[in-house]
Structure 1
Amino acid sequence: MRTLYHLWLDSGSRKIRILLKEKGLDFQMKVEKLWERREEFLRLSPSGELPVLIEENGISLPGQNVITEYLEEAFPEPSLLGGSDPLDRAEVRRVAQWFDVKFRQEVTDNLVEEKVMKRFLRLGAPEAAAIRAGHANIHYHLDYIAWLSERRKWLAGDHFSLADVAAASQLSCLDYLGDVPWEKHEAAKDWYARVKSRPSVQPLLADRIPGLLPPAHYADLDF
């Protein structure tokens, strides 16, 4: 069976978990504690980064972008890039990149990395300035989600797509920590409630990290 090496609060890992479920592909998961720097894992991912997908034939695919492109090409149905119109597909890629890169740099790295991963990677104490920046930046991105979702059925058009997956993978990590101010962003909250109800996303809501429990609303489909 194909195997996904992941960490609970790694947004790239969560993105691939959702994609595999949307594609209807069976897989098993293995938690990879990056801070242990296992030689066996480094042979699979020389960069030492997650996620890594091992296909049924034993081929190793490291990195969320590589895995995403592979899954779309090897298993084109259902497509998570939208219809056949190149401009529509470009819009899906644009919005997905926004969350994969800009949101992660401005929000997720400042909150999840500082508050959780630094402890495991033994990189010192969290930086208060970075955490403040993450809390400030998230409002701008939630406003953008609201702007998109109020003009489209989903973030990039009429269909659930890679754009929604990318956004949900980031926000689900932050929501686990209770760092999403949903009460100030009702339109974004409505969009996320629809995302949470998808069968591909619900397994993420069952995640529990030893010693770090999520807020009560995390697994509540109705908030």
Structure 2
Amino acid sequence: MFTLFHHPFCPHSRFVRLVLGEYGCDLKLVEERVWERREGFLAMNPAASTPVLFSDGQPAIPGAAIIAEYIDETLGAEMGDRRLLPTTMGERIEVRRLMAWFNEKFFEEASNPLVMERIYKRFMSEEDGGGPPASDVMRAARANLRYHLAYIGWLAQRRNYLAGERLTYADLAAAAHLSAMDYLGDVPWIENDAAKAWYARIKSRPSFRPLLSEWLAGVPASRTYVDLDF
């Protein structure tokens, strides 16, 4: 049994949930509002960021990249062809490269600004940085999203999955970030058929169902969010 301290619309948390879902792991979820800087949570992760994973007998495991490595080291070998981090060095490098691209670059340039402005700030006090969304920040994030979507489409046209011939961490990282923005209706799917077709395949996987069932009060999901044939 794993316990994950997360926020439902934190893209990194969504990535870890997809990974554990693909591996069929039992998971207990604990919602954490990191901007509240709760003392108990800071003791787990002084960086005050989600996700943080707990596994029986282990210390707190903070951050999507560290959690992904831990899961691969403890569960990967027994998954056989379903392993999400391949065994050959070249494949592992490419998966890690793309995982970092989405969890770091995509997050900084697109998913985090949009989630922050449109979701987190609704629940933050003014002292914590809450308030109305900044239109200039959202405009820049949406422009950046277009170039990331084009890159996903470019990869999807040349490979069966983003990093190669089978599902890996790279696909789940990209899909996790896109899912948070798709909920908000910010993804211009009409601009890239290859990216849209790839995402439809990933979104149709059983591991995605818990994410698609979550709704945020006062912020309705977009028309495309739960539609598997959007």
TM-score normalised by the chain length of structure 1: 0.94
1:164-195 superposed Cα distances (whole Å, 9 cap, x missing partner): 01101100000010100111211111000000
Q: Tell me how far apart the structure 2 counterparts of residues 219 and 158 of structure 1 sit (CA, whole Å).
A: 26
The equivalent of 1:17 in structure 2 is 17
How far off is 1:206 after superposition? 0.7
Q: Tell me how far apart the structure 1 counterparts of residues 94 and 36 of structure 2 sit (CA, whole Å).
A: 39
1:95 maps to which of 95, 98, 105: 98
Residue identity matched to 2:110: V
User: Is 1:201 equivalent to 2:208 in the alignment?
Assistant: yes
The equivalent of 2:226 in structure 1 is 219
The equivalent of 1:29 in structure 2 is 29
Q: Tell me how far apart the structure 2 counterparts of residues 66 and 113 of structure 1 sit (CA, whole Å).
A: 23
Gaps of 5+ in 1: none
Q: Tell me how far apart the structure 2 counterparts of residues 17 and 72 of structure 1 sit (CA, whole Å).
A: 14
Matched-pair contact (CA < 8 Å) for 1:196–1:221: yes
Gaps of 5+ in 2: none
Q: CA RMSD in A?
A: 1.4
Q: Secondary structure at the match of 2:47?
A: coil
Residue identity matched to 1:150: Q
Residue identity matched to 1:117: Y
The equivalent of 1:147 in structure 2 is 154
1:28-51 superposed Cα distances (whole Å, 9 cap, x missing partner): 111112233222222212221110
Equivalence map 1:127-206=2 (5 Å):
127-206=134-213
Matched-pair contact (CA < 8 Å) for 2:185–2:223: no
Q: Secondary structure at the match of 1:96?
A: helix
Residue identity matched to 1:85: T
The equivalent of 2:84 in structure 1 is 80
TM-score normalised by the chain length of structure 2: 0.91
The equivalent of 1:39 in structure 2 is 39
How far off is 1:58 after superposition? 5.7
Residue identity matched to 2:189: W
User: Is 1:115 equivalent to 2:107 in the alignment?
Assistant: no
Matched-pair contact (CA < 8 Å) for 1:35–1:120: no
How far off is 1:102 after superposition? 1.1
Percentage identity across paired residues of the two chains? 45
